[in-house]
Amino acid sequence: MQNIHSPLQAQLVQWLVAPGSNVAAGDVLLILEAMKMEHEVRANQAGRVGELYFQPGEAVGEGEVLGVLMPLTEDAPQPEARKVNTQAALYSMDRADLQKLLARLAFTQDAQRPEAVARRHALGLRTARENIADLCDAGSFVEYGALAVAAQSRRRSADDLVRNTPADGMVTGIGCINGQRMVVMAYDFTVLAGTQGMRNHQKTDRMLSVALQNKLPVVLFAEGGGGRPGDVDVAIVAGLNLATFASFARLNGRVPVVGVVAGRCFAGNAALLGCCDVIIATKGSNIGMGGPAMVEGGGLGVFKPEQIGPSEVQHGNGVIDVLVDDEAQAVTAARHYLTFFQGVTQTWQAPPAQALCHVVPENRLRVYDTRTAMQGIADEGSLLHLRTAFGTGIHTALAHIAGRPVGLMANNPLHLGGAIDADAADKAARFMQLCNAHGLPIVSLVDTPGFMVGPDTEATAQVRHVSRLFVAAAHLRVPLLSVVLRKGYGLGAMAMTGGGFHETLATVAWPTGEFGGMGLEGAVRLGYRKELEALPEGSEREALFEQLLAQQYDNGSAINMAATLEIDAVIDPAETRAWLMAGLEAGCVKPLTGSLPIDTW
């Protein structure tokens, strides 16, 4: 005989068995209620129910004997278990609560809105959910706030809101990208033109908090029309007390933040986009701080959306970092960009080392493309150029070298002979901030006659702009390695090497390197003006000039610079990767304390 004990102090609700009935192990014998919750008491073994000591409605104490369970006789048939498989029941499609949830969730999916999706596809664009599915590793995205609808219940029926304002026009959640968890947010242009409603602001704030607290990178699909005036369920006047913009900006320098745009991105959506570390946009995009309605409302004229901030303008002025053909390419670029903040890549392919020997022409006056040097240094397929149409005097790119993520920047002799102007300085200074904030070592490829000079140049605030390079370099916590490909002259060369040739972890040169406090031709004309002017114009003066120039060139040769220890070494171009790999292994990234802001510009 076995006693049936109460597991807690409670009230007996119901006996599910009668005296004399046979039960199997696991069968529910009775139901108790405590604190408005029901508790099942089950049989520990098979048996026959004996005397019951309490009736429904009576109170019982913890451990109190409620009845007895007698052993079965040897000839008694074994009863079949009547226990309920609660786990199976929870996921049964017959459950009303689950059916209600699934029916409600169905309205958040593209399949329930075929007309809206068709209009989107007719424009050659994808839906927010299609972009997220492409961006995230298969099956990894978990959505936050899917059941939200627009705050317009005083204007529209509940059914209308569920059907036509799913997720309040913004899909948010956490997904894996290249195997690592990240926050993903996408404005849904098929819902109220991707405008920023009250609840999607709340969703944004929630996700930004998750990202900041857990140091998760953020990807924002920013297409949309800005603030939404039609949300009437909350009493507001101007709605300028939102936390969203401050919260988004607070991520700056703490976690990588990527903005992706196709189509139209105006006003509040554009303000968030402008806070991103990098902006990836399609050729069909339009980005502006005000859309047509706002422009017209300000009395500034009537324009079509396509006339405001088209991609060719925003790429040329530096707003767009990576310009692509379509959303598929944008997602691919975003996944590529994020690899540089996900540690060392285990598999990589080195480019042909000997190709670097032919990058710089033997003719020291012949221009060439330093991007071929970048290509020859980076692991194959890893190079990602940024802001290619802006500040073209300096190329900037992210890459892997032997699997290690790095930032690459290089002077561009094809633009102003490699001289550094204001735009190039701004571009390179911000690039250093980006690498510094996220712990990427920097490789600087130098070929510059110095800072650009002249009256027109000074009118661009050149003094302030180029000095940003010195200030940004002075605050680097990451290793800086410099390779002088050819010209290393004056303050411009110093700016490309962290403020001075010994401010780097290593400064080396190829045999084609040439150095001086200023361009050699200018140095000869200024330093030997008296000697040159003493000769009549013509071949004799020109011969002296060439002689003096050759002396200057020989004196400022890479080998002579290394001999006087002004640089660390002269290397075979084919050995460049080996030098850089050694430096990357030797250099350390100093710990990040707080955040290191990245200028939006």
Domain locations in the chain as residue ranges: 2-73, 108-339, 353-513+558-586, 518-556
* Cβ pair 484, 508 in contact under 8 A: yes
What pLDDT is attached to residue 381? 97
Residue 395 pLDDT more than 60?
Answer: yes
Please state, as a whole number, how many other Cβ atoms lie within 10 Å of the Cβ of residue 229: 9
Q: Are the folds of 2-73 and 108-339 the same?
A: no
* Cβ pair 395, 371 in contact under 8 A: yes
* Cβ pair 442, 480 in contact under 8 A: yes
Judged by DSSP in three states, 372 sits in helix
Q: How many residues does the chain have?
A: 601
513 CA to centre of own chain: 37
**Whole-Å CA distances, 256 to 141, 214, 250, 337:** 19, 13, 12, 10
Place of tokens 């049964």: 92
pTM beyond 0.85: the answer is: yes
Place of tokens 């990427």: 440
| Higher-scoring residue by pLDDT: 597, 322 | 322
CATH number of 2-73: 2.40.50.100
What pLDDT is attached to residue 90? 47
**Confidence band of 522 (pLDDT split at 50, 70, 90):** confident
What pLDDT is attached to residue 257? 98
Judged by DSSP in three states, 324 sits in strand
**Distance (Å, rounded) from C-alpha 178 to C-alpha 314?**
29
* Cβ pair 257, 217 in contact under 8 A: yes
What is the pLDDT of the chain when averaged over all its residues? 93
Least confident of 32-46, 78-92, 155-169, 259-273: 78-92
Place of tokens 């194959």: 380
Q: Which of 143, 217, 152 is nearest to 186 (CA)?
A: 143
Judged by DSSP in three states, 39 sits in strand
| Higher-scoring residue by pLDDT: 586, 523 | 586
The DSSP code for 417 is: G
Residue 87 pLDDT more than 70?
Answer: no
Give the mean model confidence (pLDDT) for residues 168-186. 97
**Confidence band of 555 (pLDDT split at 50, 70, 90):** confident
Superfamily of domain 353-513+558-586: 2-enoyl-CoA Hydratase; Chain A, domain 1 (3.90.226.10)
Give the mean model confidence (pLDDT) for residues 201-217. 96
**Whole-Å CA distances, 600 to 79, 96, 428:** 74, 51, 13
**Distance (Å, rounded) from C-alpha 471 to C-alpha 9?**
71
**Confidence band of 367 (pLDDT split at 50, 70, 90):** very high
pLDDT tens digits, one per residue of 471-490:
999 999 999 999 999 999 99
Best-predicted range by mean pLDDT (94-108, 138-152, 233-247): 138-152
What pLDDT is attached to residue 89? 47
**Confidence band of 76 (pLDDT split at 50, 70, 90):** low
Give the mean model confidence (pLDDT) for residues 181-198. 95
**Confidence band of 228 (pLDDT split at 50, 70, 90):** confident
**Distance (Å, rounded) from C-alpha 395 to C-alpha 383?**
12
The DSSP code for 16 is: S
**Confidence band of 92 (pLDDT split at 50, 70, 90):** low
Please state, as a whole number, how many other Cβ atoms lie within 10 Å of the Cβ of residue 344: 11
Give the mean model confidence (pLDDT) for residues 439-445. 98
Q: Which of 325, 402, 408, 322 is nearest to 373 (CA)?
A: 408
* Residues 6 or more apart in contact with residue 408 via CB below 8 angstroms: 374, 377, 378, 383, 395, 396, 397, 398, 399, 442, 443, 445
**Whole-Å CA distances, 83 to 8, 26, 289:** 21, 6, 64
* Residues 6 or more apart in contact with residue 104 via CB below 8 angstroms: 147, 162
Residue 239 pLDDT more than 80?
Answer: no
| Amino acid letter, 226 | G
Least confident of 96-105, 122-131, 242-251: 96-105
* Cβ pair 159, 124 in contact under 8 A: no
Residue 17 pLDDT more than 70?
Answer: yes
What pLDDT is attached to residue 82? 60
Residue 595 pLDDT more than 90?
Answer: no
Query: H or E stretch including 533?
Result: helix 529-533
Superfamily of domain 108-339: 2-enoyl-CoA Hydratase; Chain A, domain 1 (3.90.226.10)
